[in-house]
Structure 1
Amino acid sequence: MTRSHGAWVRYQDPVTPDQVEFAIDHYRAAILQPWEQEVAARLKDARPDMTVLAYQCLSSTRDYEPGPIYTSGVCLEEAEESGEHWFAHRLDGSRIQWNGYGGHWQMATWEEEYQQRWCDNVGDLLEDSPFDGVMADNDVFDDYYGIDPPIEGGRTMADLREALGRLVPRAGRHLQEMGKLLVPNIAESRREPGRWERHAAYGGGFEEVWLAWGPDDHLDPQTALAQMAQLHGPGLTIVRVASDGTDDHPNFRYGLAAYWVFGGGEADAAYTATSHDGYSGTPFVPELDWDLGRPLEEPRQRGNGWSRRFADGFAAVNLNGGRRRSVRFPVPDGLADRDGRLVEGSVVLAPHEGIVLRKAR
């Protein structure tokens, strides 16, 4: 079977049988709701090489889930039975509900009891499960949800980061002992040297904001470059570029080109492009299934443009932000685009464009 480079981030609406069959043919990794046990089993049966992860939140509990399986490592009822100290509180003593995500309540991730229960519950979820591990969401760096520190005890975002910096390895070691993976959604790791390596050490890492915050809101070239080391682990790296949710959005191929140029096709990684929280579909471009072969060189720089030749193809990406900063790249002979058309001489890429070419057939 052709090696795929696609990631299926799929934790919203119920999965359909047609989507499962499509995923079997086209994806390297999948992240599913934790109750999608039958889907996970079908994927693993058909594709033992596919890494299939269950979604679990590190930092919140949700008050709208009926159970008995939950998206949070600690459910609301369990947290309330264990004591109010498992919830985070504002200085006035009120619980903290996330802005933009009604029914999500910030947990006291610094509490030792909470951390241990999270590990125990997730371990129980994975016991005798078809899932290879979990994608641990909301390994946050900054205040994305209106927590508005300082909160109880004068805690700041640095304190919350420190707490997650203890919870992640604790959970990672627990799951490793079970032969399972922990793949956190590691927010803005570029802002803290070594953060990606530390948090991805137990199975891999998920970068949900790779190259762009939104379909028209891109990272500057220096920030984008700071993310590229993520492609080389440790463990499995899953990267997602923001798009408008359509497969034709230019960010899809922009990110895929960067994936090839800086990952070299040799990294243990998987890639996707979706709209904001657009995790109900099967994003795909044919190039996701292409194999460009081994790299023939290191990434080659032309200003903020980068390219790389492979034994069976070529990839180029323009990280520039200015509208007029196009870059021309010489193209090796005998290569074709996704429509099978020969690309001769050179190609010009506008800012935030990328291209992947392969040997003409």
Structure 2
Amino acid sequence: MNALLRPVNIGSLCLSNRIAMAPVTRARVGSDGVPTALTAQYYRQRASAGLIITEATNVSPMSSAFENAPGLYHSDQAAGWREVASAVHEAGGKLFVQLWHSGRVSSYSLLDGAAPLSPSGINEDLGLLQVYGALRNGYYTRIAASPSRAMDVQEIYQAIEEFRTAARNAVLAGIDGVEIHAANGYLPQQFLSSHVNRRGDEFGGSLENRARFLRLVIEAVLKELSAQQIGVRLSPFALYNNAIDGDTHRTYTYVAQMLNEYGVGYVHAADTNAWGGIKDMPQILDIVRPNFHGMLVANGGLTFEDAEKLIASGRADVVAFGRQYIANPDLVMRVAQGGPFNEPDPSTFYGGDHVGYTDYPSLS
């Protein structure tokens, strides 16, 4: 696995290897969204990754697809993330926080009775939206999505400003950079989607208008961070949360070119459909690689052998692993020596305490 273990730079940030920790929602903070000492321990254990990309982190109280996910929209949350960043840096790691607005993928029960926000209030597909909550008995389970309402223009600009505020809080927390979550059917991808976005104003209709929300989010975050401190996650063919597009190749060619123009540090190409056995990574890379000339991070359904080939061929620069990192805090060492690898326990993926979170054994 020589290619995976080579160092690489994102701007001035040197990554010790090309194995990234993918964003993996764990839902283990409280209702206040403040990361805890246990959160810091979890990420510190995994600091040998070339880059840690944190779990999806809410930029707003109106963003909540998973109960007990962290936030980064007020000072207490920033203070919690400061402890996480310090722990990772003390262990020699690098950390980007993933900024998340779930948009229509939510529930009244997670938003204090408010309706979820969306580009156009499209609600005929609520059964396809993935929303999760914690039950009183301690179990964590999927719950019903609630009908969303269309955002007015003022609310759109407010959401854009919320991304900027979260980016500013990331800087205050000492985090190395941010990843804008424009994948998995969440709010930026909802605006990109010709299916979900049926607006008739400057944020809908043409491809340029549908991409305006993501463009303005990037420009807002650029007021707080350099371009090289920004990553953007895309999942062009994702069926997850149903933010599908009528012309995927055209839409994401445009998006990749736009991100290239801004010079963002990396694009995180996520093959979300690989979770269900449909592998789209080759066609995702066919779209992104020719049109984006910065670092390309690949993620989704990849074996270590797949990852080695992608990097050795130049098709990707870094490969991110999720479930493997849940179960193997010292994944880089295990890859370097060819295993053995712990198996993850799906029953402890979401919610709970240290069990299935910080108690997976390391080789040492």
- Normalising by structure 2, we get a TM-score of 0.53
Change (3 A) 1:137 1:88: same
Match of 1:193 among 212, 230, 253: 253
Structure 2 SS opposite 1:52: strand
Contact 2:103 2:116 in 1 (8 A): no
Matched, 1:239 2:298: yes
Q: Deviations over 1:184-236 (max 9, x none)?
A: 212328543352242263332221217x6335322385x265157289852x5
Equivalent residues in 2 for 1:51-66, closer than 5 Å: 51-57=95-101, 59=103, 62=106
CA distance in 1, matches of 2:197, 2:40: 47
Please name the residue that 1:226 is paired with. 286
Contact 1:5 1:288 in 2 (8 A): no
Aligned-pair distance for 1:153? 3.8
Please name the residue that 2:166 is paired with. 122
Of Structure 1 and Structure 2, the greater helix share is in 2
CA RMSD of aligned residues (A): 4.9
Q: Deviations over 1:162-188 (max 9, x none)?
A: 2334324323422336x8833221232
- Which amino acid in the other structure matches residue 45 of structure 1? E
Match of 1:173 among 222, 236, 240: 222
Contact 1:96 1:106 in 2 (8 A): no
Matched, 1:137 2:181: yes
CA distance in 1, matches of 2:104, 2:116: 14
Matched, 1:28 2:25: no
Matched, 1:253 2:304: yes
Structure 2 unaligned regions, length at least 5: 7-15, 29-37, 58-70, 72-76, 132-144, 237-247, 341-364
Structure 2 SS opposite 1:24: coil
Aligned-pair distance for 1:7? 1.6
Change (3 A) 1:168 1:285: same
Larger relative contact order (C-alpha < 8 A, sep ≥ 6)?
Answer: 2
Change (3 A) 1:195 1:65: same
Aligned-pair distance for 1:43? 0.5
Matched, 1:262 2:313: yes
Please name the residue that 1:202 is paired with. 264
Match of 1:44 among 86, 89, 92: 89
Change (3 A) 1:159 1:117: same
CA distance in 2, matches of 1:47, 1:161: 40
Of Structure 1 and Structure 2, the greater strand share is in 1
Contact 2:108 2:146 in 1 (8 A): yes
Aligned-pair distance for 1:157? 8.4
Q: Deviations over 1:7-56 (max 9, x none)?
A: 222332335666434312344333234445122221023225x1332432
CA distance in 1, matches of 2:116, 2:47: 44
CA distance in 2, matches of 1:161, 1:257: 36
Please name the residue that 1:338 is paired with. 338
Structure 1 SS opposite 2:320: strand
Change (3 A) 1:127 1:230: same
Please name the residue that 1:90 is paired with. 121
- Which amino acid in the other structure matches residue 88 of structure 2? L
CA distance in 2, matches of 1:228, 1:88: 25
Which segment is superposed worse, 51-60 or 145-154?
145-154
CA distance in 1, matches of 2:152, 2:299: 26
CA distance in 1, matches of 2:169, 2:193: 30
CA distance in 2, matches of 1:29, 1:215: 24
Aligned-pair distance for 1:283? 7.5
Of all paired residues, the percent bearing the same amino acid is 9
Match of 1:4 among 17, 23, 26: 17
Change (3 A) 1:254 1:64: farther
Structure 2 SS opposite 1:217: coil
CA distance in 1, matches of 2:168, 2:53: 20
Structure 1 unaligned regions, length at least 5: 67-75, 243-250, 291-336, 341-361
- Which amino acid in the other structure matches residue 132 of structure 1? D
- Give the number of aligned pairs: 261
- Which amino acid in the other structure matches residue 338 of structure 2? R
Q: Deviations over 1:304-358 (max 9, x none)?
A: xxxxxxxxxxxxxxxxxxxxxxxxxxxxxxxxx9379xxxxxxxxxxxxxxxxxx
Change (3 A) 1:199 1:165: same
Contact 2:164 2:224 in 1 (8 A): no
- Which amino acid in the other structure matches residue 173 of structure 1? L
